[in-house]
Amino acid sequence: MLIIDKLRQSKELSRGEELIAEFIIQAGEEIKGYSARSIAKETYTSPATVLNLCKKIGIDGFNNFKEEYLKELEYINRNFGEIDANMPFDDGDTIPMIANKLGALYEETIKDTLSLFRNDMVQEAVEIIRGSAGIHVYSYGTALNIAESFKEKMMKIGKNVYITNNLNYQRYEINCLSQRDCVIFISYSGETKSIINMAKTCIRHKIPFITITSYGENTLSNMGSVNLYISTRENLTHNIANFNSNLSINFLLDILYSAYFAVNYRTNYEYKLSVTKKSESRRSSTNPILQDNQQ
């Protein structure tokens, strides 16, 4: 979750902390010129209250808070386009208008996800996957359905991916994994309790894991060392649909698959051809574009 959302939505703030949060939001990028003491003076509170607010947000120290908050504001200003990810089209829009707005949102989402891309993290994730006997994906809801496509792609090049939809089974299964396995956790908020508990199990058992979560401070990304970030433009509930986050998750999983594929490009390509020839030999089409003329 973004820091600005935590400042707006936290229900655990005292009245003094609420005043400080409101001041920080209103100040925007001008916050870089303030210290904890100067904010306390402006809000008729105390420096200790400023530090308490930072701690409740999940960051130790005002200077660390300010650094992370300014990074976040830069991200928001750079990547939030004209299309509202929560309400990308309006009541009364025609079908062509809806289609064009969704197309613009998709384009912005891909660009946004690429802006959060870190080559070193993807390389580390690929190394984790390469060294594992099996990949276990844990999430819930639509994210697991999206992961099914990743599973299919990986299986076609000989890498086993396991997806368990039953949340109770997920909790049992995580305790049966070994250091030879690896885990991919997908959580947009990064605060899903069951996912956090399973990540704690991975840490205890030294099972390598990769997180796919929202940009900004959250518990899950703080627990892991290999983090991939979802385009973070949607509210958790107040939206027409999860167009933005779902597309970003799918794109990140496609990047992971492709980066893994590229490590042994020729071998993986030949393996995939052999698998598809055996399992999809009955597929045909009279459309010349779809016909496979390669030998």
Q: Which of 1.10.1380.10, 1.10.760.10, 1.10.10.10, 2.60.40.10 is the CATH number of 3-79? A: 1.10.10.10
Average pLDDT over residues 20-36: 91
Give pLDDT tens digits for 113-144.
998 999 999 999 999 999 999 999 999 889 99
Give pLDDT tens digits for 89-122.
888 888 988 999 999 999 989 999 998 999 999 9
For residues 126 and 209, give the distance between their C-alpha atoms in angstroms, rounded to a whole number: 11
What is the model's pTM? 0.77
CA torsion sign, 182 to 188 to 194 to 199?
positive
pLDDT at 159 over 90: yes
The type of residue at 81 is G
Predicted local confidence at residue 295, as pLDDT: 47
- Give the list of residues 6+ apart from residue 134 with CB closer than 8 angstroms, or none: 160, 161, 162, 180, 181, 182
High-pLDDT (> 90) share of the chain, %: 59
For residues 22 and 45, give the distance between their C-alpha atoms in angstroms, rounded to a whole number: 13
Average pLDDT over residues 73-81: 70
pLDDT at 62 over 60: yes
Mapped onto helix, strand or coil, the DSSP state of residue 227 is strand
Average pLDDT over residues 37-58: 91
Residue 181's beta-bridge partner residues? 134
Instruction: Count CA atoms within 13 Å of residue 193 on its CB side.
Output: 1
The type of residue at 278 is K
Give pLDDT tens digits for 186-196.
999 888 899 99
Q: Please, are residues 125 and 256 in contact by the beta-carbon 8 Å criterion?
A: yes
Q: What is the DSSP letter of 206?
A: T
Domain positions in the chain are: 3-79, 114-279
Predicted local confidence at residue 293, as pLDDT: 60
Q: Please, are residues 25 and 57 in contact by the beta-carbon 8 Å criterion?
A: no
Domain 114-279 coded CATH 3.30.1330.20: no
Predicted local confidence at residue 182, as pLDDT: 96
Say yes or no: do domains 3-79 and 114-279 share a fold: no
Predicted local confidence at residue 279, as pLDDT: 72
Q: Please, are residues 163 and 191 in contact by the beta-carbon 8 Å criterion?
A: no
